[in-house]
Amino acid sequence: MVKKVNEASIRDHLAAHLDLIEPGLILVDIEFHLPNGHGASGFLDIFARDASGKLAIIEIKRTDAAAREAIQELYKYVPLLRERFFIKDTDIRLILLAVAWHELVTPYAEFAASAPYEISAGKIVLDTSGTPTAIEPAVLEASSSERKIGVRHFLWGFPDAATASKAVTIIARRVQCFGISDFVLIQSRGATPSLRERSFLYFAQRELRFEDYMAMIDRHFDEDQLDEFRESIANLSELEDRVAEASNAVWHLYGGVPYREIGADNAEIAHPEKGGRWFEEGAQEEIIVHRFGRFVDPWLSDATIIEEIRGEGAESDFRLHFSARTDSPPQMKALRARVENIFFFNEAWLGTVTQLIRYAERTGDSARIELIAYSPEDILRAIAGSAFGFPGYVPTFRLEIEHDGVTERYIGLPEWDGSPPDFNRVMTEHFHGDDFDYFFACHLGENRTMNRDIMTDLGLRYSVFRETGKKPERIRVQGSSIVPVKGEIRSLNLLVHEHHEEVDKLVEIFMRVDQGFAETILTFINNDLHVAERQIADIIADVPRRDEGIYWCGDIANCNLCGISFAPLQFMIDASLRIGGAGNVCALCFLREGRGIGEGRGQVYEAHDEGWLLIAG
């Protein structure tokens, strides 16, 4: 039995035997007084210097009751020490030593994760006489991480709502058997006419740590299976990718949730990008969020859960929508962490957005920053989508800084230098000339590390522009100044327009091999006609307008393909068609069947009082 001993005795013994704490420590004083003219003063249990000359504040606690005060005291001592001495935060070390750690484990783990000072901790080992004999490093469990939706989702389709409702309980029980407790199942009905009779369940879970997933895998895999799995993820350089693969492996340990057993007639693997499209504004109706585990929280709204499934809070590593105020350190810390996450592979935008954040902090005490970003690091998919006027794959960001009643807006977009693209060479050099190598690289996330080199090969770069009253102005940030950068601006649409035949090679690959891409594009071009007209406007935005006023000769009343009247429309396109021949078509039919804009392919006419004016092509 250990003899009871007070803190002063423990302190004095350790002060006389500092090597127990750390070799090279030199005692400065014990009970070192730090006066405070604005409140309570402090007394450092042991004040020392380490072998490198840093000041070491050593705080000692014996009981759980005393340990409760330790973190508060450490926070108090540093500013008092800074007032007394002409020092920097990097000159200070905090060492927390305690006999009892029960009350300290959780607060210390949280403190150590965010403390702006170098900090370490240890458990004091006493002999039967109460004398310290050793200091053992404190082994602490990681503090609980904040809520984050995992990147692997699932989607089931059902013939009716009753079948979907019945499946909720069956799926929940099975998932809980996997060892996953915090998840949601979102029941909904599609808003489009073709889906209105059907019901759906969308599954998303709280992301666990890689170690947690591996612990589940370890319990079920034999040695050979475990070695094979570890080998399969060995080349994944990013932790996020390893977590995703481990999460997927846990799901399949139990055979997942076979869709026919729950009454579903189809099942799909989903992810934040698909979640973004699935839950976009107006896409789903009669939404019910079934919650499990810690998602059963009245303070957590359904809208927040769906937003995070869409990946807009940096749960996705390529989609973000976040706001912060410069006078809120927690918000600014979270903003910086999210910026680093979403632009991890994009050093150009990472650097500029970080500089814009610093610029905002210098504009005043309370500026508001809002960042909406999409950075998938997949420029080939962006180009293929742009060939149809679909902007959904194009990397971009929009950053607003609001201060003193003024709002500044900055946008990020890919920019083209005018050099001719060669997609055959890109596929050969980066993917061994095999289309499937590209899609396999996308599955593993490896394409993101190649994206910068691919963009360079295609004459593309990430640029940043400031929105002005006239047209976007390319800029760079220098300290507290926003500096305009001269030069012609060429967009991704211009590359597609001027090299449509080369781009068609890429489009053919995506439409043939990538079913998800093809479905997205077909859904897009079958969408509302007004949306199609907006896409035509975007496509021709960078195409030089003709100086001479050339109008269509003759009367045309209806689209040659769908028969819709041209009377209410903004655009008419005299187009060469993929199905053969040519015709005067509406924007929607042009996006479906047109062969591009330019000589011999398609001329865009705009409705004017005098008739149809040729504006592009």
Angle at 334 between CA 398 and CA 287, to 5 degrees: 70
H or E, element range at 398: strand 396-403
The pLDDT of residue 588: 83
* Domains of the chain with bracketed CATH: 7-137 (3.40.1350.10), 153-309 (no CATH), 319-510 (no CATH), 527-616 (no CATH)
Tell me: the pLDDT tens digits for 272-316?
Answer: 777 877 888 788 889 999 999 999 998 999 988 998 888 765 556
Looking at per-residue confidence, does 524 or 433 come out higher?
A: 433
Whether residue 594 is predicted with pLDDT greater than 80 in this model: the reply is yes
What DSSP string describes 328-361? -HHHHHHHHHHHHHHTTT-HHHHHHHHHHHHHHH
Number of neighbours of residue 290 by Cβ within 10 angstroms: 18
In angstroms, the CA 370 to CA 335 distance is: 9
Cβ(347)–Cβ(391) below 8 Å:
no
In angstroms, the CA 491 to CA 166 distance is: 50
Number of neighbours of residue 461 by Cβ within 10 angstroms: 13
Could you tell me the pTM of the whole model? Answer: 0.64
In angstroms, the CA 39 to CA 42 distance is: 10
The pLDDT of residue 403: 87
Whether residue 326 is predicted with pLDDT greater than 60 in this model: the reply is yes
The pLDDT of residue 143: 56
Q: In the numeric block, which tokens belong to residue 193?
A: 């006419």
Helices (H) and strands (E) in the chain, counts: 21, 22
Closest CA to 613 of 583, 575, 573: 573
The pLDDT of residue 3: 64
Cβ(221)–Cβ(187) below 8 Å:
no
- Who's near 522: CB < 8 A, 6+ residues apart? none
Start-to-end C-alpha separation, the chain: 92
Distances (CA, A) of 259 to 157, 189, 245, 276, 331: 9, 18, 21, 23, 42
In angstroms, the CA 406 to CA 400 distance is: 10
Cβ(140)–Cβ(108) below 8 Å:
yes
Work out the average pLDDT over 431-439: 83
Orientation angle between helical segments 447-457 and 379-386, nearest 10 degrees: 60
Q: In the numeric block, which tokens belong to residue 401?
A: 């800084």
% of the chain beyond a pLDDT of 90: 25
